[in-house]
Chain A
Amino acid sequence: MASLLPLLIAAAIGITPAPPRFDAAGRSIGAAPSDRAASYVLEARYDPGARRLSGTARLTWTNRSDVPQRTLWFHAYWNAFKNAESTFSREADLRGISRAGTRSYGRDDWGWTELRSARLPDGTDVRPTLRWEHPDDDNAADQTVFTLTLPSPVPAHGTVTLELAWEARVPKLIARTGVQGRYALFGQWFPKVGVLEVPPQRGVHAPTWNCHQFHAASEFYADFGTYDAALTVPRAMVVDATGVRTGRTENPDGTVTHHFHQDDVIDFAWTAWEGAVQVDDVFRADGLQEVALTALVPADARASAPQILAAAKATLEHGGRAWLPYPYPHLTLVAPPLGANTSSGGMEYPTFVTLYSRTDPVTPRDVLLWEVTVHEVGHGWWQGLLASNEFEEAWLDEGVNTWATAEVLEGVGLRWDLAQLAAPGTRWLLRPLLRSSIADRNVRSRGRSPRYQSPVVRPVWLFQNSREAGRTVYDRGAGALRTIAWEVGPAVFARIMRTYAERWAFRHPGTDDFLDVASEVAGRDLRPLGTALLRGTAGLDDAVEELSCKRIAPGGGPGMYDRDGGPPVFRPAARGGEDDRARCEVLVERHGDLPLPLDVRLTFEDGTHLTESVPPGEVWRRVTTERPFPGGRVVLAEAHPGAPPQLDTNRLNDERSLQPTPAPASTVAGWLLYSAQILSAAVGSLL
């Protein structure tokens, strides 16, 4: 009866949800939507006093290939925090990754994980075969990837079960995992098998293990499976996790074991947090699956909860209608306590995301809370369901989701107001100065140079630094999608994204898979454009560099002219007549090499237009017109009239007017002068 209640309520208020794909225990209804190549039964006990996590994992792994596999690859992610010589620590140190650094770690802050045993069903312990691997670099000190060799291979399409036991020291909060005070977040916390990629998956020609080390700027890659977890913590701790809560057992030693289950997800994360405030809600919408929502917020930021839930619902609604109905029955939204937002907020795991909390959120809609919530919930599609390889093709998650975030925010009419970023107590002062209304897509960097350092598709640890990785993967990835949308039109693009989501849900798409879907839906080959956008470094900055008009007499300007075959005769300037002409020149330059078509539209004073097309590859063009004066003067020249491609690095030079525009020039010059005066006065106060 209890399970019918939500449906009855929904019916009473006139909402008809879609039938669920998973039951109230997180088990799929009907055929399994994923191949469940790696499934886990997890048991873990957390001792906050000793910062120790001990557990077992019964892994059931299926060899999806046609080749027997004797060696299995695993991640031991927490060893990234073991010392300063791990690949993670080295990269964070060298490349200045703010929330990933172990630089400030003291003696008790380091964390690690240690595999104690790995037993086959017959009791054979293969732990002695453990061998540390470094597939990405020669760092022998790194212990984030290991292999186990079995006595006999797992046959093609066969299955093996391994009972893994491990002990871990929980690190001080870092890179979205660890402990801070009474708050603990557990991500990538158990020995996790790598992905055996099987042809034609992501273009591999033979079964290949894809199991990268933990890098400072990278996220993860995993197979789908079922997860069943029993998590034991002190009674005072509030616990929530991936999937659906299936039970709660009080233990005689003052601990509680929390049970969770979810089928067809790629990972399992959880939090144990003493003092968290739990706020429950339900998402219901016509034709979409019902999703139970749980927000965990700190007590002093309880005011954040309603907005977090509202933003999550908006995303579920938009994503459900535009991309794919969100299939899972439960979603946990963790807003970390003050002091833990930058190091643990803003991370996605299946059906479990971390966000931000603000003690004084701006009402009615705080853009910081909304943006991070929309973004992290959006990952539920672009990583949770379409489980791309975030080590090698991070844009398929972050870039696509950055695009998706902007779509949702635009759909609910929310724009960036930088004044909202000001701290309480300063808002009264800064609000008039920072008030703004900027679309999310426009706060993303397009870069300054029309040539980039790296292609979008690149292993994340091979970018110059974290800033370049972020700009490229998030911003340019999203820009690439919008450029394809600009090329094919919004309706076709919407169909592309929906088809891509439907076709690749519960699988592992690659960049080529996306481009194949895009080409198929658009009805033309978008691979060359996609390759240029995603695998090249060419950018785009189309600019109207010059626009000038000259009034000339009908026969031309002054000078020596032949007359009736005789000697040249001087003819003076004779402007001012009714039949004078306007000779105008427009210079358009293409500073970038991205092969996109360019239309240039000239608007004449009499309201007429002239449009010229510049094919890809032509670097510049000068357009000259001569028409009757004054109506024939070109008053406006526009590159990409209407809407330019998103990747145009300088939008402002896409248009140039004949008449000066003193308003923006004086606004900027006046503000610069005023700022310099304030700076001088501030320094002068000390003199």
Chain B
Amino acid sequence: MERTLTRFVRALRTAGMSVSSAEAIDASRALALVGYSDRDVLKASLGIVMAKSEEDDALFEQVFDTFFDSAALASQTQATESSNDQPASADEGADSDAAQPDQDGTGQADDFMQLARSGDENRIAVAMARAASAVGADEIRFASQSAFFVRKMLEALGVEGLEARLAATLDERTADARRRAQALIEARTAMQRAARAHVEQRFQVFGKAATETFMDEVVTQREIGELSQRDMERMKVLIARMAKRLAVRHSRPRRIRNRGQIDVRRTLRANAGLDGVPFDLVWKTKKRDRPKIVAICDVSGSVAQYVRFLLLFLHALNETVTDLEAFAFSARLSDVGPTLAKLDFESAMNRIVIDAGGGSTDYGQALVDLNTDHWQVIDRRTTVIVLGDGRSNQSDPRLDLFAEMADRARRVVWLCPEPSRRWGTGDSCILQYEPFCSHLSHCATAADLERAVDDVLSAYA
């Protein structure tokens, strides 16, 4: 029983849940209390002991259902328990009297045939489970490995003996031999199917989640501009998760007690009942600023994709960043707040890119527009995030306005999708803006984006 639990814990870990050993011990204590008899109680108990958040609950449910797949449960426990005392090998035909060590594998072939023909699903399942443990099928991580494990399992069950016999039979070239060969082939196919089903089930438990995690990692490291449509869907989920992580990290209380500095007025008030003897000290508190972010996004063709993700990110942070103003520009600058509030995110972004994009990019003009219409949104609590490649088509970059903006704002963070070696080449005037930025960095992947936003929020700590 313990062994099944250990495997289950491992399955949970590969699925991305962090189950500590302390929790695994609790699980085994809980198991000793409730037993395996009632599936629902077992599920509830293990869930209560090991899944420690709502996401964990969903994950747990999924893994539990695939792992303790009704029929598999009995056979697996049986197989793993019995393999404790008998090393896993093709000892399934204990009732058959054929000698085991057989040079040409006739005995193995007989066992194999007998097993295949028995039609006893339980027996086959037990044999499969044992073979799977013997070849280490729990190590499966990718779907493409399944053919390999199926073959290994069949070999463990003695398929090689059968194949040798099959070859010999085919060589005979008689009608009778062909009939016998047909039976051998059918037996092999049936066993192959059973093995594949078994490997598939193991993959669902041990491999799938690992593949997903791996894919997630790949996507966050890939350049946003090069994402495929399928990656984009995956990305949305990931961005939501990142945003949640950041929100947790930055949702500290807004007041911090400044231990060491006494708030005299409030201390006297609090101790009035104690004859003014200051027993309860009240410390002065410091208020922390709420983050206020103004995002200025270049939505011309090359950068539009990045803007989509930055805004998605900032949007997902709306509990932490309540003050968010977003502007988009290519030729002229416009406030995208109303569009984002009115439409759902996807259609809003499409509208923004159509409305604001399309002109020839002009950073100078964008700054002028910001200056005339929206200068008041930038104050000393504001972090200005500029997302753009700084390619302004040879127009006047209006450094004076940019400098004034940097003066007004708390920080100016420039995120550039282009790698640093291309800064300043051609019509890029990013290097002219650089001296006024508190921070300028290359931001190409979702991981970069997360780091950049984390950095912005940390400045308010």
Please say whether chains A and B are actual partners in one complex.
no
